Amino acid sequence: MATTNGFQSLDELDAAIPTRRTSTDDVSFLDRIDLGAAIAESKRISANTADKAYRRLTSHGNVTSYSLLGNLHECPRRFELDKLQANAEVPLDVDVDPAEVNIDFAFGHAVGAGIQTYAVTHSILAAQWAAFCAWRAPWDAEKLDKNGKATAGKSLTLAMAAVENFIHFWDTTLSDFEVVVINGKPAVELAFAVDMQNGFWHFGHIDAILRSKSTGRLAVWEGKTTAFENVNEAAYGNSSQALGYSVVVDAIAQIIGAEGSDYEVFYIVFSSKSREFMLLPFGKSRKQRAEWIQDILLDHANIGTYERIQFYPKRGESCINKYRRQCYWYGQCHMSNKNLFPGTVAPELKSVENVEAVDFKFTRDELIASQKQKG
């Protein structure tokens, strides 16, 4: 299976993208690299950070993901309305502040695409091009603080600067790691689907899979951006997001012949305030990964109950979120579905066999079997 830029193996990719030298007398890394190959990879990565085909899949009524379940936990009614909104012929004009929301997302996507591209190509030019392509906001947009001043540290220029800062972070903190290549394709922005065998599918996006060059151990890369200068590890330590990814990596590890049963999860966090990267590593045991599967099944059981009784309860404590923003459904969520979305029903996903937006497909039994095999 060839990569999107035509490479058949990691050796061919390495031949086009030589190892980066850091000596001061090096003429230029960019003078020695096949920039066409690096740029092609940057386009693939930046496009995958906002995969519309993947988002269409998650609009199905029997599909969940980490972000969707986060909405379910905060407010089941919002979860239901978001699903209907995604399937409505004429979506409602809900009261969202696009200027504020889009810059947050644009900044996160741009930084994420840029640093992932650098990890694959070791080309700063390709990395910054990926950041530029992933910036989905006006090019001169900038996040303002509550006083209307540009002190929030989020703009296209600052996203590009963050990508450049990542070079030193990678060369020092992550120098022992490389991006895994699976079937000739760098393991970046991998989409997976799990048939939970209860009528539901669970989807996810893995930012990247890394492998230690010295030990061969795998690590799941999860990238985040934050406005806080210092990050408490408790913000991510028990998150089910990367824990779920490590469950899937168990199964992927068998495909690529990797060893070990306990994988680390690397939260690579960029602070837009301090403009520095932080590494928060967490070990995930086999017991924790088994609990994640049970947790997803419980969430699906709750959704099934809401559907059966035709009632998704509202959670008033979530009408204002942790960022002090009002829920966009506030003032409308009390209305009936037939008035808000007449004739709209979220369809059910039957199969993902021919879905190109998914890189790996597993069943719940296959994930459990991979856990047992690890012993």
- Residue 35 is predicted with a pLDDT of 56
Q: What φ, ψ does residue 179 adopt, rounded to 5°?
A: -75, 130
Residue 132 lies in a domain: yes
Residue 338 lies in a domain: no
Judge whether 1 lies within some domain: no
Q: Extract the runs of DSSP E, i.e. beta strands, from 256-359.
A: 263-271, 276-284
- Beta bridge partners of residue 282, listed in sequence order: 265
d(CA 195, CA 305): 19
Q: Is 228 part of a structural domain of the chain?
A: yes
Q: What is the pLDDT along the chain (375 residues), one digit of tens a residue?
A: 333 334 444 444 444 443 443 333 333 333 434 656 666 667 666 666 555 677 788 899 999 999 999 999 999 999 999 999 999 876 666 554 444 457 888 999 999 999 999 999 999 999 999 999 999 888 888 887 776 666 667 999 999 999 999 999 999 999 999 999 888 889 998 889 999 999 999 999 899 999 999 988 889 999 999 988 888 899 998 888 878 888 888 888 877 777 655 678 999 999 998 999 999 999 877 788 888 999 999 999 999 999 999 999 999 999 998 778 899 999 999 999 999 999 999 999 998 876 667 888 999 999 988 877 765
Question: What is the distance between the alpha carbons of residues 310 and 303, in angstroms, rounded to a whole number?
Answer: 10
**How many whole angstroms separate alpha carbon 275 and alpha carbon 193?**
34
DSSP 326: B
Question: What is the C-alpha to C-alpha distance for residues 73 and 326, in angstroms, rounded to an integer?
Answer: 17
Q: Containing H/E element for 128?
A: helix 124-134
77 within a domain of the structure (yes/no): yes
Q: 3-class DSSP state for residue 270?
A: strand
Select from 168, 267, 278, 166 the least CA-distant residue to 220.
Answer: 267
**Is 315 domain-assigned?**
no
Tokens representing 28 are 């230029």
- Determine, yes or no, domain membership for 311: no
Task: With residue 222 as reference, give the H or E element that holds it.
Answer: strand 218-226
- Residue 62 has what pLDDT? 96
The answer to whether the beta carbons of residues 265 and 222 sit under 8 Å apart is: yes
- DSSP letter at 234 equals G
Give the residue from 353, 270, 327, 324 showing the smallest Cα distance to 82: 327
Identity at 50, one-letter amino acid code: A
Q: What is the DSSP letter of 60?
A: S
The pLDDT assigned to 344 comes to: 94
For the chain, the domain total comes to 1
What range does the domain containing 234 cover?
Answer: 10-304+347-374
Residue 191, H or E segment: strand 188-195
DSSP per residue, 66-123 = HHHHHHHHH-HHHHHHHHHHHH-SS-------HHHHHHHHHHHHHHHHHHHHHHHH--
Torsion sign (Cα): 63, 68, 70, 72: negative
Q: What single string gives the DSSP state of each residue in 329-343?
A: TTTTTTS-HHHHSTT
The pLDDT of residue 19 is 41
d(CA 25, CA 327): 55
Is 277 inside any structural domain? yes
Which amino acid makes up residue 235? A
CB 24 within 8 A of CB 207: no
